[in-house]
């Protein structure tokens, strides 16, 4: 994927959907349907967004501490999704065994990913002056953040239900 650096006149608006609106239709659905929705609506797009993030960072020659934070965010989010897909979601689908520890690990990782995203947001504020690549990275991070909030909220509803069993 080749990222083109352009200077946007103004950042395009990130569609704002409240977490409550994004999850409202999914709260009472069967676990398997919610998992399928998370995989298609959030995990697939997140992987594409992370690919764009890597390409933009490379094209903008981002280095140093910011590059390290971007790489850590990419790695943590990618590994978190893999663990959900290979372990947590499989356990939830099977509804067997003790899932409390696995769900607590996933929740802890949500907190870590939120913290990393906040650090990146502070380092790359939307609308800040700077090289075009940084502006594009800030816009993409805002889009990722807008998707991660309902994504994590849906998963935490699933995790809470699993821990209550």
The per-residue pLDDT for range 133-163, each reduced to its tens digit, is 788 888 899 999 999 999 998 888 887 777 6
Give the tens place of pLDDT for each residue, 79-120: 999 999 998 888 888 874 457 777 778 888 999 999 999 999
Residue 81 belongs to some domain of the structure? yes
With a threshold of 0.85, does the pTM exceed it? no
Residue 10 belongs to some domain of the structure? no
In sequence order, the 6+-apart residues with CB closer than 8 A to the CB of 92 are 31, 35, 99, 158, 162
Q: What is the span of the domain harbouring residue 42?
A: 29-164
Residue 143 belongs to some domain of the structure? yes
Residue 35 belongs to some domain of the structure? yes
Q: How far apart are CA 103 and CA 98, in angstroms?
A: 10
Residue 13 belongs to some domain of the structure? no
pLDDT band at 24 (very low <50, low <70, confident <90, very high): confident
Burial of 88 (C-beta count, 10 Å sphere; 0-12/13-18/19+): buried
Residue 22 belongs to some domain of the structure? no
Q: How far apart are CA 132 and CA 144, in angstroms?
A: 18
Who has greater pLDDT, 39 or 107? 39
Q: How far apart are CA 78 and CA 60, in angstroms?
A: 22
Sign of CA dihedral 25, 27, 29, 34: positive
3-state secondary structure of 5: coil
User: What's the pLDDT score for residue 15?
Assistant: 54
Residue 16 belongs to some domain of the structure? no
How many folded domains does the chain comprise? Answer: 1
Residue 141 belongs to some domain of the structure? yes
């Amino acid at each position: 994927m080749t990222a083109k650096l352009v200077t946007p006149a103004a950042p395009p608006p990130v569609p704002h959907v409240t977490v409550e609106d994004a999850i409202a239709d999914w709260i009472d659905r069967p676990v398997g349907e919610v998992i399928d929705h998370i995989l298609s609506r959030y995990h697939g797009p997140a992987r594409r967004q992370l690919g764009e993030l890597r390409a933009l960072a490379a094209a903008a020659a981002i280095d140093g501490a910011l590059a390290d934070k971007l790489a850590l965010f990419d790695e943590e989010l990618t590994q978190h999704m893999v663990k959900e897909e290979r372990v947590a979601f499989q356990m939830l689908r099977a509804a067997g065994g003790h899932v409390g520890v696995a769900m607590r690990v996933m929740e802890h990782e949500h907190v870590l990913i939120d913290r990393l995203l906040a650090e990146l947001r502070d380092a790359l504020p939307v609308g800040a002056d700077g090289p075009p690549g940084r502006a594009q990275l800030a816009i993409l991070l805002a889009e990722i953040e807008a998707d991660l909030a309902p994504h994590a909220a849906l998963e935490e509803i699933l995790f809470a239900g699993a821990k209550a069993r």
